[in-house]
Chains A and B, each alone.
Chain A
Amino acid sequence: MPIKSKDFIVEELKRQIEGFKPEAGEKLFGRVMEVGDGIALVSGLSEVMMSEMLEFKTSAGSVYGVVLNLNEGNVGSIVLGDALKIKEGDEVIATKRILEVPVGEAMIGRVVNPLGVPLDQKEEIKADKYYPIEKVAPGVISRESVKQPVQTGIKAIDAMIPIGRGQRELIIGDRQIGKTAIAIDTIINQKGQNMKCVYVAIGQKESKVAGIVAKLEAAGAMKYTTIVLAGASDPAPLLYIAPYAGTAIAEYFLDKGEDVLVVYDDLSKHAVSYREISLLLKRAPGREAYPGDVFYLHSRLLERSCKLNKDYGGGSITSLPIIETQAGDVSAYIPTNVISITDGQIYLEPDLFYQGNRPAISVGISVSRVGSSAQIKAMKKVAGKIKLEAAQYRELASFAQFGSDLDDETKKKLERGKRLFEIFKQEQYSPVPVEDQVLIYFAISNGFMDNVPLEKISDFEKDLVEYTRNNSQETLERIATSGLLDEVSEAELIKVISACKDTLDYLEQNND
């Protein structure tokens, strides 16, 4: 019925035209006194609000800014856009709006800047809604404790440092040590896990981000991922709002009751950009020249990660902030701040990295304060022993260095530990499904790997998973769907592991 629908449009139009009241709205205006380095000082605007958006009417079109400082007689603001267009004396108009970004389903699979403008040369984004970039975090009433797991697909993390939906887990370490790799692997592993992902690149090289996008595209992860990019060449104000914009995009899905994973890569550069803005706005510098509210900068961001209870939709935002340390110094200002805000940290150690243990996760210092409630039951069962064994091995290994005679029990533990740490090694971009992890950990903690030569462990792992997939697929599926490891499954696993070992020719015979 095309004619009728047209009628409807005309009627609607008539109704709107009749209902339209032209209002001569009173607006605040001011003039630019000073501009430079992404900062503008504006006179007038006596009744402007904090963090209100400003429109700079320049000769080359409008540029937008945000109020950050309210002084007597002038207003300090950051400029989001080309500050070079603005000249002294330009007119500035207060918009009576807080800075907002477009959010919605259309953002998925896109690369956008912190204002929601697409950077990937695909079609324009038709946003469902606009969300303010700054929002007060959900309160106590609407939250519940973290209990569902986020499967990172990284064996060492899923077993020993489990991350739950709604948790904030810091990834910390020196440069070039695999921090981003962990986050990207985690995003790749969210395929089919009912999880949306937002990757916020703050001050990253655009080439690195292009590489990440290509990798995610190849792994099919862009189907559920949004990338918010504030590159190294973008002005500090854009870097400053990037993580808040990313969180706003995530909050749209949270409000729909969905689970979201947000990666902030990285918050050290975010703090540096905020320091730049603060110093230019002549706020007093404190420790390491950061302003006094740099803690609040990150705490208000990370508090927006949450697990909502059923009454509030049951969605969650899990965040993986990344911090880059200088020469392993975790006691610097920003690292200690973010460590204290988050619910645990994954610490990457240079020594481990150069020994070839990749991912270079330091098992001792890394913790998850949510603990085993964020693991499926099957994983909890096998990983409980693993944690203990890893701890015992580290202790024994330091003694064993002295080369004294060791009793058989100790030797056995050392051998087991060596194999365990061999298992923790994992190639980049190859996350392991949780049921496979259960199988591998089950095999090692029950002594099935004791007669596998150390250098053959990774081969054995591959062979075992492949053999089990071919011969006992249903057991793995049962573990994955039920999340349980009951006696029946255990018996089946023992059977299939033994059978698999019979087919291999590289095992040590005398030890069996």
Chain B
Amino acid sequence: MKIKSQQYALALFELVKDKKGQELEKIVANFARLLTERNDDFKADKIALEFENLWYQENLVVRAEIKSARALKPATVKALAEKLRKISGAKELDLSEKVELDIIGGAVIKYGDKILDAGLKNRLQKFKEALAV
């Protein structure tokens, strides 16, 4: 029977949920052995990704990315993060920042599977569309 990476991830997640220290290490080692035994070690990357997704889901962590034209001040990032935590209902944010000149100004914020485009480029585009009608 073929086992999907999602199923592997779920099994591992449930096993290690409340485990710590040596016990945890043992489980992970066994898991790795199982993967090689079943010739499924090529799935490791995907399993890791799925595992992370599950972990985030369980602990209400939301991945977020802030793209801006210039590097933002720490205070601004903090304010944005606070706001994001509120709208997404997350306990914790896995926040990354990125500088991209292409958006001209403002910021584009991604969190979960949503995108909040407050970039200048997008606004100009919208303005162009509004005038065209």
Contact B110 A29 (CB under 8 A): yes
Cα–Cα distance between A27 and B117 once the two chains are bound (Å): 8
Contact A26 B131 (CB under 8 A): no
Given contacts A28-B113, A30-B113, A45-B113, contact A16 B118 (CB under 8 A): no
Contact B114 A13 (CB under 8 A): no
- The contact string, 1 if C-beta is below 8 Å from chain B, for chain A 88-124, is 0000010000000000000000000000000000000
Cα–Cα distance between A9 and B2 once the two chains are bound (Å): 67
Please choose the segment from B14-22, B26-34, B70-78, B122-130 that sits at the chain A interface, where 4 or more of its residues have CB less than 8 A away. Answer: B122-130
Residue A149 lies at the interface, judged by CB distance under 8 Å to chain B:
no
Shortest distance in angstroms between B48's beta carbon and chain A's nearest beta carbon? Answer: 16
Cα–Cα distance between A28 and B130 once the two chains are bound (Å): 22
Given contacts A13-B131, A16-B131, contact A22 B114 (CB under 8 A): no
Cα–Cα distance between A24 and B126 once the two chains are bound (Å): 10
The answer, among B113, B117, B118, for a CB contact under 8 Å with A46, is B113
Cα–Cα distance between A20 and B125 once the two chains are bound (Å): 12
Residue A81 lies at the interface, judged by CB distance under 8 Å to chain B:
no
Shortest distance in angstroms between B10's beta carbon and chain A's nearest beta carbon? Answer: 12
* Contacting residues, chain B, for A20 (C-beta < 8 A): 127, 130
Residue A44 lies at the interface, judged by CB distance under 8 Å to chain B:
yes
Contact A29 B130 (CB under 8 A): no
Shortest distance in angstroms between B93's beta carbon and chain A's nearest beta carbon? Answer: 17
Given contacts A20-B127, A22-B123, contact A29 B114 (CB under 8 A): yes
Question: Chain B: interface residue count, which band?
Answer: 10 to 19
Residue B116 lies at the interface, judged by CB distance under 8 Å to chain A:
yes
CB closest residue in chain B, given A91:
B115
Question: Chain A: interface residue count, which band?
Answer: 10 to 19
Residue A2 lies at the interface, judged by CB distance under 8 Å to chain B:
no
Residue A25 lies at the interface, judged by CB distance under 8 Å to chain B:
yes
Shortest distance in angstroms between B111's beta carbon and chain A's nearest beta carbon? Answer: 10
Cα–Cα distance between A20 and B112 once the two chains are bound (Å): 29
CB closest residue in chain A, given B6:
A73
CB closest residue in chain A, given B106:
A24
Contact A28 B115 (CB under 8 A): yes
Contact B127 A24 (CB under 8 A): no
* Contacting residues, chain A, for B123 (C-beta < 8 A): 22
* Contacting residues, chain B, for A30 (C-beta < 8 A): 113
Shortest distance in angstroms between B49's beta carbon and chain A's nearest beta carbon? Answer: 10
The answer, among B115, B127, B130, for a CB contact under 8 Å with A26, is B115
Q: Could you name 12 residue pairs across A and B whose Cβ atoms are closer than 8 Å? A: A20-B130, A22-B123, A22-B126, A23-B126, A24-B117, A26-B115, A27-B114, A27-B116, A29-B110, A30-B113, A44-B113, A46-B113
Chain A residues engaging chain B, CB cutoff 8 angstroms: 13, 16, 20, 22-30, 44-46, 73, 93
Closest 8 pairs (CB-CB, A-B): A44-B113, A24-B118, A22-B123, A29-B115, A27-B115, A46-B113, A26-B116, A24-B116
